[in-house]
Amino acid sequence: MARRYFGTDGIRGRVGEPPMTVDFILRLGWAAGRVLAESGPGQVVIGKDTRISGYMFESALEAGLAAAGLDVILLGPMPTPAIAYLTQAQRASAGIVISASHNPYHDDGVKFFNGDGYKLPDATEEAIEAMLEEPLQMVDPEKIGKASRMEDAKGRYIEFCKRSFSFNQSLRGMKLVVDCANGATYHIAPAVFRELGAEVIEAGTSPNGLNINEDSGALHPESMRALVLENEADLGIAFDGDGDRVMMMDASGDVKNGDQLLYIITKSKLANGRLTGGVVGTQMTNLGFEHAMAELGIPFERAAVGDRYVMEKLLERRWFLGGESSGHIICLDKTTTGDGIVAALQVIDWLVHEGLTLAEACEGLASYPQTMINVPLPTRMNLADAPAIQDAVAAAEDRLGDDGRVLLRPSGTEPLIRVMVEGRDLAAVEKTAAGLAEVVRDTVERN
């Protein structure tokens, strides 16, 4: 069925505009509760990030779920991966995260995990959408759900993160800058790294409901460069607002993205004899990463953009490592979803074990120049129905050969076609991208 509300990562929008209104979120809680209750009475875990609207939507979801007969456990502000973990640990029917991830404070969203800590399957999301069309009917008064608060949620998750780091190693002697984007990791990440022995310089740990992701965190890792250099830190670590993305910075101030961090984790697993199968990236994963995997003899496959699709391919292949350039890194040997803190710990674990700097650990991965041009699209357009575009792409791919790659894709959030070209030679990449963008513009104008 065609989806009206669910996107690739739950439901998201501007607060106060459909679907992110109080009345809709109450109905969403009820509809989800009705679908989940079909398998019997249960409880649902709810967590949120630090944006001001989270309190309002938390109350609405709580009311809707209780009206459907499910108990609710409130976690308060917690990273998205913490909700996945605590849902599984609590043996709950589902977990709900109130967050718009990397978006600014005026947006918010709702995403779900099943009882095993994975994103809901399509069939369950479709059932919830169908239930939203039904009239809201409460259960009998004696069956109304109850609500409670998990007081030790923070401590439980901190210990979970620490257990993903080698027991016989510590971070003593390391100085880290930890930027939490004024988001959900603000009271978690600094504690994790301190308890493992590091000296921590905090940034982005003063949320006020309005400053989440504002000029800080994984979307703006350059903002922590001054702190890294001023404090002569060994590393900088930056998370996004809900804690499922991570970027890192070496001692010289160079940012390492998700491709580079996934490369380090993959290499460490291979060296330890713990790599099973291959690695999953996305359409945006740098071609240099694909070539590096080939040199290591590791199978590599691309999924559609979005950690949901990376996860689907990992489960299909029964592999456990995957990620996106944006910093979503999935280590299924450690957890059930992308987790910024856990991913950072896997990188640092290898650095400590081998006595490497972050820059040294990235050696062997050549990131190729990449250019992206956004072409406005006034109406929906099927690229497959445009022969001129297809011919131009084929010609560009022939010129680039094995040393380059072309990707044209419609934006999932804006009326744009993204024209991306990457390859070994920057001048050739820029020229090819400009030429393709011009063909797309001409085709759009003619249509």
pLDDT tens column, 304-345 = 988 889 999 999 999 999 999 999 999 999 999 999 999 999
**386: its two tokens:** 């445009």
**128 — pLDDT class (breaks 50, 70, 90):** very high
Most confident of 37-41, 266-270, 363-367: 266-270
**Is 417 or 232 the better-scoring residue by pLDDT?**
232
pLDDT in tens, 218-227: 999 999 999 9
Interacting residues of 231 by C-beta distance below 8 A, sequence separation 6+ = 175, 177, 201
Q: Region 280-297: what's the mean pLDDT?
A: 95
Out of 53, 93, 99, 101, the active site residue is 101
For residue 2, the model assigns a pLDDT of 64
3-state secondary structure of 248: strand
Task: Specify which residues 422 forms β-bridges with.
Answer: 370, 405
For residue 444, the model assigns a pLDDT of 85
Q: What is the CA radius of gyration of the chain?
A: 22
Q: Domains in the chain and their CATH numbers?
A: 11-151 (3.40.120.10), 157-361 (3.40.120.10), 370-446 (3.30.310.50)
Lowest mean pLDDT among 113-122, 194-203, 240-249, 263-272: 113-122
33 φ, ψ to 5°? -60, -40
Question: Does 53 participate in catalysis according to the annotation?
Answer: no
Strands 94-98 and 43-48: parallel
Residue type, 185: T
Q: Is the pTM above the cut of 0.85?
A: yes
